[in-house]
Structures are given as structure tokens and as C-alpha cells.
């Protein structure tokens, strides 16, 4: 029932927002395909494409949960989505860091955020307080 109401809203009152969300997923898919087509085995483009693919999948999960009336629970997927965004920034700032990913030696997400001076710290702190951990209060 909640999902039907949400889809009705996307088709009516939130039509412009829905168009932007779907366009974002479409563009992300095009970028993922471009990176895949342009990359050599285990290259910068391959790793970035895989991170972007993971981020896209997490984004679709968040969207799906929200449509089902479970937007608060979707917050648990937002943290790894932020990690994907910050990891792409980490690679952009120093493409040699791809080797860390290939070798399975990436630093923890918090360290990456510090190294790139991540702008999403406020959101991460909010999730720590409100979405990422189970609590009765």
C-alpha cells in the first residue's frame, strides 16, 4: 500500500523529482559502461567503475526502501554509499591509490575521509547518532 502511494506521488506531485532520480541512475549506468568499455584488466577505470557500480546499487536500494516506506532503514545503506563517494574522491586525488584497492590494502573509511578532507562528515555524524546503530531510544 505504501509503495503504491509512493509510486502515485512520483507519477504526479513528485514527477520532476522522479525524472531527476531516474536520469541520475541512467547517467550513472552510462558512466559505468564507459569505464568498463575503456578499461584494461584491473586498471584505474576498472576499479572506479566497480566502486561506482556499488554506489549505484546502494542508491537504488535506498530509493527502493524509501518507496516501501522504510526511508529511515535506508539510512543504513547511506553510510556505505558515502564511503563509495569518498573512495572515488580518494582515487581522483591520487590515482596511484588504486593499487591499494587492487592489493586489498585500503585504509579504513574514516581515514580515507580525513585524507580527502571529506565534506560529508556532518552527515556521517548524523548517521552515527540516528540511523546506523540499533537503539530503543
The three grid cell numbers given for residue 136, joined into one nine-digit string: 530503543
Q: pLDDT digit string (tens) for 15-43?
A: 999 999 999 999 999 999 999 999 877 78
Q: pLDDT digit string (tens) for 80-124?
A: 999 999 999 999 999 999 999 999 999 999 899 999 998 998 888
Ordered alpha helix ranges (H), the chain? 2-11, 15-38, 44-67, 71-93, 98-102, 109-115, 121-130
CA distance 87 to 38: 20
Indicate whether 56 pLDDT > 70: yes
Query: pTM of the prediction?
Result: 0.87
Amino acid at each position: 500500500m505504501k509503495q503504491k502511494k509512493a509510486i502515485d506521488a512520483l507519477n504526479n506531485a513528485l514527477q520532476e523529482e522522479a525524472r531527476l532520480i531516474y536520469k541520475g541512475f541512467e547517467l550513472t549506468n552510462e558512466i559505468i559502461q564507459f569505464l568498463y568499455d575503456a578499461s584494461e584488466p584491473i586498471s584505474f577505470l576498472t576499479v572506479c567503475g566497480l566502486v561506482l557500480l556499488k554506489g549505484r546499487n546502494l542508491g537504488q536500494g535506498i530509493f527502493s526502501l524509501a518507496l516501501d516506506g522504510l526511508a529511515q532503514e535506508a539510512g543504513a545503506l547511506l553510510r556505505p554509499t558515502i564511503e563509495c563517494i569518498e573512495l572515488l574522491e580518494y582515487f581522483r586525488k591520487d590515482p596511484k591509490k588504486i593499487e591499494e584497492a587492487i592489493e586489498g590494502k585500503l585504509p579504513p573509511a574514516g581515514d580515507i575521509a580525513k585524507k580527502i578532507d571529506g565534506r560529508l562528515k556532518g552527515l556521517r555524524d548524523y548517521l552515527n547518532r540516528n540511523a546506523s546503530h540499533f537503539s530503543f531510544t
